[in-house]
Amino acid sequence: MAFHKSFQPLLLVALIFFPFCTPIDTITPIQSVRDGETLISAGEKFVLGFCCPGNSSTNRYVGIWYNKIKDQTIVWIANRENPVRNSSGVLTIMGGNLVLLDGGHNNSIILWSANVSSSTMVNNSSATLTDSGNLVLKDGDQRTLWESFDYPTNTHLPRMKLGFKKRTGLNRILTSWKSADDPAPGEFSLGLDPQGVPQYFLRRGSDRIWRSGSWNGQRLIGVPAMNEDSNLFYWSYVTDDDEIYLMYITSLTIRFVLDDSGVYQRLIWNDNTSRWNLKPVATQDSCDRYGNCGTYGSCDSNRAVVCECLRGFEPKTPSDWKLGGWSGGCMRKRSLDCDGKGDGFLRLANVKLPDTSRSRVEPGLNLEACKEECLKNCNCTAYASANVSQGDHGCLMWDGELVDLRVYSDGGQDIYVRVAASKLDGSAIEYSRGLQGKKKLLVTLLTIIAGLLLFVLCGYCWWRKAKGGEMNERHDTVLSDNDIEENGKGSELLLFNVSVIAAATNNFSESNFLGKGGFGPVYKGQLPNGQVIAVKRLSKTSTQGIKEFKNEVTLIAKLQHRNLVRLLGYGISGQEKILIYEYLRNKSLDSIIFDQKRSAMLDWRKRFSIIMGIARGILYLHEDSRFRIIHRDLKVSNILLDDDLDPKISDFGMARIFGRNQAQANTNRVVGTYGYMSPEYAMDGRFSVKSDAFSFGVILLEIISGKRNNYYWDCCSSNLIGHVWEKWKEDRAMEVVDSSLINISPFRTEVLRCFQIGLLCVQEKAKDRPNMSSVVVMLGNETIMPSPMQPAFCFGKENCSDHQIVGCSKNEVTMTKMEAR
């Protein structure tokens, strides 16, 4: 910019006395933002400027991001669908409207506009970036014409209203990005549905995949985490004549993001680690999927078979229900009596109330009045309290079928479902009055029965010990359905007829063969309802006996985690023992990472995601499930990959249940796989959570290197552990990284952190290894970690030149009483 000579002295004075200027936070008709320039909010919390998300190097977008967070975290983008193809973009105010121009075409092409109507446009408007991350366009009288918070992208920020404006029809909806590099609207969206009693839906296209439930005065019914996070921020739900919205207020740096894979999660910035700590909010298990159990079905992720019909209802299509096709739902066993005298109400506690799209609220009614009101209407199928924060004040009633009802182990709400009184073992009045007495009687009977069973079990264990038997020996008897029922109520699983499984796998044909595990072959099959399954057929010569089969059935049936494979059912016929799993078309992890052609499918970001998923799955087994479980056979071939290449741990035949305070156990029968077993387990039969940590360490190193642990490396290293250890000591660990990983340099720090965690997990002594909770923390945060010590099983081989032995472990592998695979 050229200045007249008469202004030069003034400019010099300004530079001397005012060397620093307050950051500009406002765009005016004479103050534009060009590519390379930025706006900074008054408190310097947010920045607006031009950016290139992810690895997009040519497309330029106007975005808003956090100012003081080193790694650019974008929270809003203006021109999502119309990027600037070069660095000529200009964000300016034209005719009172906020517009993005392509400066390379003489400012003639408008790439994006705030679309302020011509009737409201004025020439003296201005746009200001606030400390909440909101870009606000106002006229000269400071009336708001437009704001970015009304048009969110994939991020919900504090004080941002997520909801519906009744008068204008504006619905503030989150939409995912297409990918990490492309901020154009993706296939997932999260927004308020005002139909009936308002609730939020997560959709894939037009399909509903998750539902928040309605606001009950304290939280959204389907989001228990809102209670858990009450100490972090305050939620405000507002409904009035003008709008309906949800907003949160916090003093922390928190955001909610709908990512490109459809995961809605909460992220909190940790200043100590300089990382985002994330927590999923929606779709955490199968019961979160909308309508998973159909109409009048309840979903409980703690049950072996998650779906069941409500009392007084039965499956509409029993054959589909038995095969896991629950979406068809349930129907009444007996029709309702519309005169109101022959109906009662089934009370369901701790549930996510069903879809409220066809429900209404009657304010001012208590629950008793609500019941009477419901009985007057033949279409009324259920009622519940509309506001639990005011002592069950207000009546929420459903007209029509109940959909998307799930049971919570903690939290939730009570609902009263209308059924024929005969299905309540008496009239509705008798049921409601006698419920507590019946409960007490039932609890007493169950306590007595449990006590007797415990007494018998203790006596049996004492007898077995006195006879010198071992609890873990193999039994070669024929397994019946009753055996499974006695061993953890496995009969709740679907029991398939073996003939049905044979038909589904084309009589176990070679064309359906997927592979062979340690205990027998695995086949692909398709059930009559079209569901594709994986069938594990126990080999008659398999080392897995009846006890291991029971173990796998009863354990997996009770485990529910996104990183554990899902067991659908089992089949038994004489000595034929079959397990039916969900089919994962990408098969096992080893089929990809050890294949030179397929390994390129997994870039570093995906490999790291797989590592995190495996770690979280093991952590769930060790600490977060209803039992403490030691897997004992973790390896890459037991890690399956779903359609999104997310990992699922499988093969629980060798798993063992621990008491919560139990540290380790011993066995005279060591089972497992060479290369993955910890030294204390391989040598002495001692296993613990640290045994699984060792196996995880080997898996981690294999994922990074793309090589098996027993791969022949060089003269100085007999296995992968030894090779990595030697390179680590020489500060050359990056040389071990899989050659199929291209452009790995930007992730060097993360890769080295994973190498260090892997070496920490495979240390010689169990006490030196981290537990899985520490592993998950170390993977997700740049924390200070200890230096790894000498790994186990790190044997050297004869040196090629001088025939000396190079060794890095004082142990010698001598496997006794071993069944290794």
CATH code assigned at 663? 1.10.510.10
Determine, yes or no, domain membership for 553: yes
- Of 534, 562, 582, the residue that ends a domain is 582
Residue 17 lies in a domain: no
Domain containing residue 378: CATH number: 3.50.4
Pair 799, 756 in one domain: yes
pTM above 0.75, yes or no: no
Buried b (16+ CB within 10 A) or exposed e, 53-88: beebeebbbbbbbbbeeeeebbbbbbbbebbbeeee
Distance between CA 582 and CA 782 in Å, rounded? 36
Is the domain of 644 the same as that of 781?
yes
Residue with tokens 């870039």: 603
pLDDT of residue 499: 84
Q: Do 398 and 414 share a domain, yes or no?
A: yes
Name, in order, each residue with C-beta under 8 angstroms of 777's C-beta and a sequence gap of 6 or more: 783
Residues 257 and 167 in one domain: yes
Q: Are 616 and 723 within one domain?
A: yes
Active-site entry in 633, 646, 651, 738: 633
531, 553, 582 — which closes off a domain? Answer: 582
* Full residue range of the structural domain in which residue 259 is found: 161-175+183-284
**Is residue 300 flagged as an active site residue?**
no
CA 732 to chain centre: 35
CATH number at residue 113: 2.90.10.10
Rg (CA), the chain: 31
| Domain termination residue (choose one: 249, 284, 319) | 284
Residue count of the chain, please give it.
821
- The pLDDT value recorded for residue 440 is 53
Query: Looking at the structure, do residues 499 and 563 belong to the same domain, yes or no?
Result: yes
- Of 274, 236, 283, 277, the C-alpha closest to 254 is 277
Largest CA distance in the chain: 109
User: Are residues 609 and 752 part of one domain?
Assistant: yes
SS (H, E, C) 285-300: CHHHCCCCCCECEEEC
407/546 same-domain check = no
For residue 670, the model assigns a pLDDT of 53
Bridge partner list, 208: 203
Residue 133 shares a structural domain with residue 256 = no
Query: Domains in the chain: how many in total?
Result: 5
Q: Is residue 302 part of a domain?
A: no
Same domain? 760 vs 677: yes
∠ CA 82-88-93, nearest 5°, is 75
User: Block means of pLDDT (10 residues each) for the chain, length 821 residues?
Assistant: 42 38 79 94 95 83 95 95 91 91 77 78 83 94 92 96 92 94 94 94 94 91 79 86 92 93 90 85 82 94 86 90 85 82 87 94 90 90 88 86 90 90 50 42 70 72 50 34 42 73 89 76 86 82 61 71 86 81 88 87 93 94 80 90 90 68 51 76 79 94 91 60 92 92 89 96 91 90 86 54 36 36 42
Q: Specify if 645 maps to a domain.
A: yes
Helix segments in 580-719, DSSP class H: 590-593, 604-619, 679-684, 689-705
Q: Is 478 inside a domain boundary?
A: no
Instruction: Pick the closest to residue 74 from 112, 113, 47, 103 (CA basis).
Output: 47
Residue 320 domain flag: no
* Pair (575, 599) in one structural domain: no
Asked if residue 457 is part of any domain, the answer here is no
CATH of the domain at 573: 3.30.200.20
Domain presence at residue 307: no
- One domain, residues 563 and 608: no
Type of residue numbered 46: F
**pLDDT at residue 481, as a whole number:** 43
Task: Determine the Cα–Cα distance for residues 412 and 398; give it in Å rounded to an integer.
Answer: 17
